[in-house]
Structure 1
Amino acid sequence: MTLKFRIFAAAAFSLLAAPTAIADVWTVDPAQSTLAFEVQQGDTALTGTFGTWSAAIDFDPNAPEKAQISASIQAASATTGNAQFDGTLPNADWFDVAAFPEAKFIASDVERVEGNSYRATGTLDIKGLSHPVVLDFKLDIDGDIAKASGTATLNRLDYNLGSGVATDTVSDAVSVTLDLTATR
């Protein structure tokens, strides 16, 4: 076998393999996607969203164990619609956006639970503090459009978020919800 033939064969093989690798890369549509949070403040649910975030998703539902998923969230984009709360979120007691402008999630394992239900286990880093997080999500794919919705629960004190605020004022548990639309 000549060197030229081997180079040709390798090039042809890589061209055939390329569409498979690219087919599983998904691009999130931010206009149709939401990353939200909810905590109990006394007797009231306080909800908010992150307006600026992005995700890198390489996911094949037939091989979830090969998934590569990560997200980057701009902490300063957190809003609740309440001026008092929105004014405190960027401060050092909460997100401390001057020192830690970005939160990150990186999935280390993705598995199918059943049907279109999946579980992504990974690490969430907020304010330089990293802790494991489990995101349970449902995924529906129609051609080249995917819609996913999921939830995770975290303890705000693990990330030093509002550590001076009593738990009867703001609950320790924070529910994070994700609704996204992505295309490939």
Structure 2
Amino acid sequence: MKKLPLAYALVAALTTSIAANAADYNIDQTHTTIEFKASHLGFSYVIGRFDDFEGTFSYDPAKPEASKVMATIDTTSINSNHTARDKHLKSDDFLNAAKFPEATFVSTSFKVTDEDNAVMMGNFTLNGVTKPVSIDVAKIGEGKDPWGGYRAGFEGSFEFGMDEFDFKSNYGKVMIDITVEGIKK
């Protein structure tokens, strides 16, 4: 399975105008997922998602290296299927969602590795901290949809240490998986 990093999904999510032939896409929230997996005390994993996000991306298959992504995630929309745990994840032990209700990603570069894969670099801001991240991205597909529109889909993933974003509780790595579908503007 080809992997598309969160950054690329975000790249595919939010975009700025670039090359003349590039197409701008809005993220289709009903066909996009931003999921996470984090260690639970080293014994198991907490798995969940963010329910609210928005973004755009710019993508031209003739010039994929010019792709751009910008995305915003509502950190208060974290959903691990357990209300008490979600409350704790929103607290200042982890996301500090009351103070920092948004996480953002803005791409800075896009390096094509083969016909359907790339590495997207960008700045990820979470809990008030901005760090560069590298996302492995894979193209899922693109084409006309049954309603007369045009869509493109990508997937990606990346990981970071909780300590990198100043989480008070630090149980190691957080893995982010993104699947994004965009509708051409």
- Could you tell me which amino acid in structure 2 is paired with residue 81 of structure 1? N
**Cα pair 2:140 2:155 within 8 Å, conserved:** no
Structure 1 segments of 4 or more deviating over 2 A?
20-23
How does 1:151-162 map onto structure 2 within 5 Å?
A: 151-161=157-167
Q: In the TM superposition, what whole-angstrom CA distance separates every residue of 1:54-94 from its partner, at most 9, and x where no partner exists?
A: 11101113212322211101110111012231111221121
Cα distance in structure 2, aligned partners of 1:61 and 1:92: 42
- Aligned-residue sequence identity (percent) comes to 21
Cα distance in structure 1, aligned partners of 2:154 and 2:174: 20
1:92 aligns to what? 92
1:75 aligns to what? 75
Task: Return the offset for 1:135.
Answer: 1.0
1:164 aligns to what? 169
Cα distance in structure 2, aligned partners of 1:95 and 1:142: 34
1:125 aligns with 2:125: yes
Task: Return the offset for 1:23.
Answer: 5.4
How does 1:11-160 map onto structure 2 within 5 Å?
A: 21=20, 24-41=23-40, 42-143=42-143, 144-160=150-166
CA RMSD, 1 decimal: 1.8
What secondary structure sits across from 1:98 in the alignment?
coil
What secondary structure sits across from 2:60 in the alignment?
coil
**Cα pair 2:36 2:176 within 8 Å, conserved:** yes
Where does structure 2 lack aligned partners over 5 or more consecutive residues? 1-18, 144-149
Q: How many residues align?
A: 160
Distance 1:134 1:159, change over 3 A: same
Does 1 or 2 have the higher relative contact order (CA < 8 Å, sep 6+)? Answer: 2
Cα distance in structure 1, aligned partners of 2:127 and 2:159: 17
- Could you tell me which amino acid in structure 2 is paired with residue 153 of structure 1? E
Cα distance in structure 1, aligned partners of 2:161 and 2:63: 31
Larger of the two Rg values belongs to structure: 1
- Could you tell me which amino acid in structure 2 is paired with residue 150 of structure 1? G
Distance 1:145 1:62, change over 3 A: same
Distance 1:140 1:164, change over 3 A: closer
Structure-2-length-normalised TM-score: 0.80
What secondary structure sits across from 1:89 in the alignment?
helix
What secondary structure sits across from 1:61 in the alignment?
coil
